[in-house]
A and B are shown apart, each in its own frame.
Chain A
Amino acid sequence: MTQAHHISLLDEDEALSREELAQLCHVEAAWIDELASHGVITPLAGTRFSAVTITTLHKARRLEQDFALNIPGVALALDLLDEIERLRTELRRRG
């Protein structure tokens, strides 16, 4: 069974309000505010977020649920994962 599908690319330049983001990710807007207050996500200008934030929110949600983390724990895990990714890239560059 093969079919073509409606696809869209999450766009860095597409700005979403926190309400739109909350609706897309099926989370409370307050949860988004809390992540933002820990610097996990950063609004573009003002209060709108880039559409690629969706990926971070999904990841934060999974880490929160799968490891029973609180928001500071999620923030720390995401920072460490970013750092590992940066070091891996650096390693590949030298290799």
Chain B
Amino acid sequence: MEYKDYYKTLGVAKTATPEDIKKAFRQLARKFHPDINKEAGAEAKFKEINEANDVLADPEKRKAYDELGSAAAQAQAQGQGFRPPPGWSEQHHFHDRARPGHAGTADFSDFFEELFGGRGRGGPRQQQQQDFKMRGEDSHARIAVNLRDSFAGATRQISLRVPEMDASGNVVMKDRVLQVKIPKGITEGKVIRLKGQGGPGFGGAEAGDLYLEVQFAPDDLYRAEGRDLYLTLPVAPWEAALGASVKVPTPDGPIMLRVPENSTEGRELRAKGKGLPGADPGDLIVKLKIVWPPATTDKARALYEQMAKDMPFDPRAKMGV
């Protein structure tokens, strides 16, 4: 198991006051909150910050964590991995405080679970909850989908760490694999609801729902905005100047597109209905990019020289030079 340096996670010294810790946590939470920071890895970072804060903001847990201290970190550095000292869980009993909404109750690291976890590992709290019923929490996750999957629909396998009730009614973290059907015509930002796949309910109450927000994985060619797809299409100078029918890729197979004569760099052409499918399918918006063949052969050089000689063209005419 990996030792977690919670002080490093929050960027505070071991001597930090509770106020220092609170401030550092708040600043980092604002920066990495998954609703605010859409970058990959932000959510994982946010969970680490919450975990570190859960321990360091609680005097009881912080004291116990400090007791483990440098010996544990040293063992980790020497590649021995981390083991809690014998008798740890008998000496320490931690009570769960309510955690903020987003972090939810659960998915903290194994390190945390070993030291402070065991939610419902016996203890007074659980006794009280015997005849207490509460619906499970709704949980949220993002799911990366290939935009090309929107054309035919697809089944994606996703792995989640989710809290589950074991046989004796304790909440344990389980890795769960779900098969999720991605409906045809899905667009970014759409939300898929999986009924009863959220957090477990207490006292026999129903589980919460799992909400998956669809995000498109970056595609080499296309960019999606709603149902419209954007594609940058390289064209030769003579295709742009003289006009041409060119073959254009779409996720649904190539189409022919007419490039009008005297098209300039950046011109946008619209292929109606060739975007993401649906009752009202999107368009494919093709942005022209003029690319020039290099003058690497005598023939090419001769052609460029002829253009330079015969075409009165000053690209810097408007710059007053």
Contact = CB atoms under 8 A, between A and B. Distances in A.
Are A and B a genuine interacting pair, yes or no? yes
A61 B101 contact: yes
A1 B176 contact: yes
B135 A26 contact: yes
Contact of B101 (A4, A65, A81): A65
Nearest to A85: B38
Given A65-B100, A67-B30, A58 B193 contact: no
A1 B157 CA distance: 11
A55 B103 CA distance: 17
B180 A7 contact: yes
A26 B135 CA distance: 10
Nearest to A10: B191
Q: Size class of B's contact patch?
A: 35 or more
Given A26-B138, A92-B223, A93-B230, A66 B176 contact: no
Interface of A: 1-10, 25-26, 52, 54-55, 58-59, 61-67, 77, 81, 89, 92-93
23 contacts: A1-B176, A2-B157, A2-B177, A4-B179, A5-B194, A5-B195, A6-B195, A6-B196, A7-B193, A9-B183, A10-B190, A10-B191, A10-B193, A25-B138, A26-B135, A26-B138, A54-B211, A55-B191, A62-B35, A64-B101, A67-B30, A77-B36, A93-B223
Interface of B: 29-30, 33, 35-36, 100-103, 135, 138, 140, 157, 176-181, 183, 186, 189-197, 211, 213, 223, 225, 230
